[in-house]
Amino acid sequence: MKAFIIKSYKPKDGMTLVEVPEPKLQENDILVKVSAAGVNLLDSKIKSGEFKAMLPYKMPLILGHDVAGVVVKTGSGVKKFKIGDKVYSRPADFKIGTFAEFIAINENDAALKPTTISMEEAASIPLVGLTAWQALVEKAALKKGQKVFIQAGSGGVGTFAIQLAKHLGATVATTTSTTNIELVKSLGADIVIDYKKEDFETILKNYDVVLNSQDAVSLDKSLRILKPGGKLISISGPPDPEFAKEFRLNAVLKIVMFFLSYSTKKKAKRLGVYYSFLFMKASGEQLHQITELINSGIIRPVVDKVFPFNKANDAMTYVESGRAKGKVVIKVN
């Protein structure tokens, strides 16, 4: 099969299109013929080596964390899917590789694709959808009547998180650029701050939840807009000891995480608020719940551009530029 690989971190010419063996199935795996694959900043960060201490992948590596496609083979123990099912998934760490014609995925990490959207739209959902779900539903336990600040509302996570937060009954504030104000309003944002003209810290007060995806300066400001007992969930760091424990990282990395997050944890404690780092996990069950929201029209995918398979490097470059509105997708088969 054809696949885009990297042979080392920070490859000079990006990913390379090569012929590789078709994946071998384990007992609980499904073999998916890839129709489309979403592109995420996480792919770029892994390519650059940013996560090699936490995720020590072996080279050569096929990148790609989002997929929509058709089941063409099943392992002997598979019970949830059959050949011909249309599915989507964020494969588990160390089983990634959606920038390819086929991928093997554990059945527990996949769900039936929403029937109301295309393969390309479905491929845009898993990573950002699960990130928003695990931040707002699991960690923050966002409730009706609460106030949530979602940074970068026109980005992949932001466009999904705004819609999910509105479904949960929250008042939603977000930041974006002038050209994307109408987009985030159409998704349900109640308060929209043009980050090029305004400082959100001077506008927002007494928030229950912040979903942080920006830099350290924005993180510090976000801590200060929370009410006592409020929660800041960060997907951009710094990672904390709880994350290290959850991912069963070694003792050295646990110590590193402690010092990386020490200053932020100290500021949060002084302000009487809660800080947590989130690195999302694969979950077919949560994707199933997301499927129901999409099929019912509560959440709609936001796709900026679809690139052909042979232009996967161009898709990655576009994501790295930070200009994408919503998600970028590669059409494979």
Encode pLDDT of 62-78 as tens digits: 999 999 999 999 999 99
| pLDDT for 246 | 86
pLDDT single digits (tens) 245-285:
888 888 999 999 999 999 999 999 999 999 999 999 999 99
What domains are defined for the chain? 2-124+302-331 (3.90.180.10), 127-277 (3.40.50.720)
Residues 6+ apart with CB under 8 A from 193: 173, 174, 175, 176, 200, 203, 204
What is the tens place of the pLDDT at every residue in 173-230? 999 999 999 999 999 999 999 999 999 999 999 999 999 999 999 999 999 999 999 9
Q: Using an 8 Å Cβ cutoff, are 45 and 63 in contact?
A: no
Rounded to the nearest 10 degrees, the angle between the axes of helix 156-167 and helix 126-133 is: 50
> Which residues have a Cβ under 8 Å from the Cβ of 211 and sit 6 or more positions away?
132, 135, 136, 140, 148, 149, 150, 151, 157, 161, 233, 235
Token output for 215: 């830099």
The type of residue at 330 is I
Query: For residue 299, is pLDDT > 90?
Result: yes
pTM above 0.95, yes or no: yes
Q: In terms of Cα–Cα distance, which of 100, 93, 92 is closest to 6?
A: 100
One-letter amino acid for residue 299 of the chain? I
Give the whole-number percent of the chain exceeding pLDDT 70.
100
Q: What is the DSSP letter of 257?
A: H
Alpha carbons 104 and 312: distance in angstroms, whole number: 20
For residues 91 and 98, the answer to whether their CB atoms sit within 8 Å is: yes
Residue 122 has pLDDT above 90, yes or no: yes
Q: What is the pLDDT of residues 49-108, one digit of tens each?
A: 999 988 999 999 999 999 999 999 999 999 999 999 999 999 999 999 999 999 999 999
Q: Is 209 left (phi over 0), alpha (psi -120 to 50) or beta?
A: beta
